[in-house]
Structure formats: C-alpha cells, structure tokens
Amino acid sequence: MITAISTDWGTYPRIVRVTTTDNLGAITATGYITSQLANIALIQNGVFEWTPEDEVLIYYSGGQGFFTYDSTTAAFIAQPASAGTLTDTLASGDIFVGNASNIATGVAMSGDATISNTGALTIGAGAITGSKIANNGVDYAQLALDVAATATVNLTAAQVNGMYATPVQLLAAPGAGKLIIIDQILWDIAFVSAQYAAGGAIAAQYGNTVHGAGPAASGSLAAASLNGVAASGYLSNGGISGSLNVTSAASLNTAVFLSNATGAFTTGNSTVTMYVKYRVVTPA
C-alpha cells in the first residue's frame, strides 16, 4: 500500500517520491496504480496528476530505486541502471553477465546448463564429457564417458546349450574409438523342467570367438552354478572393470558376445533373460 507521495515542484523533470509497503513485484505489476487510486487520493486530498517525464523515486519493501509511471499498464517501470550499476529488476530466470561494453546485462543462461527462477541449475544432456573432468576426479575420469546403460537380452535354451560353438551377441559394436565396459550381468532364469549339464566357465568376451576363447569382457560364471539351478532364480557375472586385460585392437569398436569354455551345455530347457549393465567409454 502506498503510504506517502510527494512532488518536488519547480524542477524539470519533477521528482515524485513514493513510499509503499508493497514489494518490487507488486509495484511493477499491471494495474498497481489503479489499485492504489483511492489511497493516493486520500493522501493527496484529490487526484494525483502524473506526467510522462516524472522521475519516480520509490521506497518499497525490500529496496528503493528510480522508476517511471506507465499509463498503459498503470504500473511503475524500473529505470535502466547507469553504467557500472545494477538495476533492481531482472527477467525471470535471467542472470547478470558483463557484456562487450563491460556493463552488467540480464541474459538467459544457455549452453551446457540452464537455470530456473528458483535458482535450480540443470545440466544439459551429454554436457559432461571426459575432457571436462579432472583426471582421477571420478572413476574412469581419464576416459570420456559417453553411455551408461542396461541392455536386456533374451536367450533360448538352444542358445544357452549352443553358445560354446555359437557365441550369443549381448552388445553391438559401440562405434569407432569406443570401448564397452561391463559392470555386471544378471541372469534371470525361468526354470522349465530340466537342469543344464556339462559345459564350462561362462563369460562375456570381446568378439565372436568360439569356445569362450575371446578376450574376457566380464567375470566368469562357473558351469556348476548354472547346472545347479533347479528352480527359477538369479545368477550373475561380475564386472571386468577391476581386471580388464585386453589390447585396443581386440576391444575398440568391438561387439560383446557370451560364450563358455570346455564344452557345450546339454539337456537344459530353461530360458534366460540377461540384464547387462555396461558403459561405453572413449579412451583418451
């Protein structure tokens, strides 16, 4: 509410002094003066006459500053700050940035991040790359992190029994210069009626090499663990991140397959849903 209003006569432009208990948002909102007409008339003992040239110095809740009166919106408009100072107003969600003339100017944050008018900062998708992370700052900081995901692969009983001679693809080649890192493989086994038998140690590997002879891309799962499954349940292969030992020629832009050593599994008829947790990185 406007509690005082006075004018310096005899000067041009005249200075109108206003004191109000309202805040900046209220006094710059459309219709503010209209809502205050009765109150102003009471203070002035009549109608207050505004002129377009008025310099309005307002003491409001939370601050003070110079404004002009906009008869179109019946509200006050903050005057632009003089060079080297900041205005009291700033567009919703904008921040002050020094422009080419070294003047603080309100602009919207853009590029790798945006900011809301509550101060919440949102980093853009794909904005954080290896080149922006200090070495050893986080795991794999020396590798440019491109993708972190989980792939779902469904295996028939025939594929499990046959993966010794016919490896099953889990993940496609990631692209030139990129490397797949397996964090974990979860086996969700839907038991049917017959247990698996024979076989050998099971692991993901780089490339389509028979008999599980390719470079290891995951930890191994003992054949006995699979053969011992007599009811629906879960098994897992551990990740390779702590013991990776492979040449770049054998692993970069190379698909990951599942195979086993020693010999083929037999007799089993259960199906498997595999959840492969992995990352794709670009070595520096």
End-to-end CA distance of the chain: 63
The predicted pLDDT at position 85 comes to 59
Half-sphere exposure of 99 (CA within 13 A, CB side): 10
The predicted pLDDT at position 91 comes to 78
Place of tokens 């309100």: 106
Domain 143-283 grouped into CATH 2.60.120: yes
The predicted pLDDT at position 162 comes to 98
The predicted pLDDT at position 142 comes to 46
The predicted pLDDT at position 133 comes to 61
Let me know if 18 is exposed, middle or buried by CB neighbors in 10 A (0-12, 13-18, 19+). buried
Q: Which helix (H) or strand (E) holds 188?
A: strand 179-190
Instruction: For residue 263, give the nearest of 212, 228, 203 by alpha carbon.
Output: 212
- CA of 106: how far to CAs of 27, 80, 96, 163, 252, in Å? 20, 11, 4, 62, 46
The predicted pLDDT at position 124 comes to 85
Q: How confident is the prediction along the chain (284 residues), in pLDDT tens digits per residue?
A: 999 999 887 677 889 999 999 998 899 999 999 999 999 999 988 888 888 888 899 999 988 888 989 989 999 988 876 655 566 677 788 888 888 877 777 888 988 889 998 889 898 887 776 666 655 455 444 444 455 789 999 999 999 999 999 999 999 999 999 999 999 999 999 999 999 999 999 999 999 999 999 999 999 999 999 999 999 999 999 998 668 899 999 999 999 999 999 999 999 999 999 999 999 988 87
Instruction: For residue 221, give the nearest of 251, 255, 249, 187 by alpha carbon.
Output: 187
The predicted pLDDT at position 21 comes to 95
The predicted pLDDT at position 141 comes to 43
Domain boundaries, the chain: 2-88, 90-127, 143-283
Whole-angstrom distance, CA of residue 208 vs CA of residue 169: 8
Q: Are 161 and 266 in contact (CB under 8 A)?
A: yes
Whole-angstrom distance, CA of residue 58 vs CA of residue 46: 20
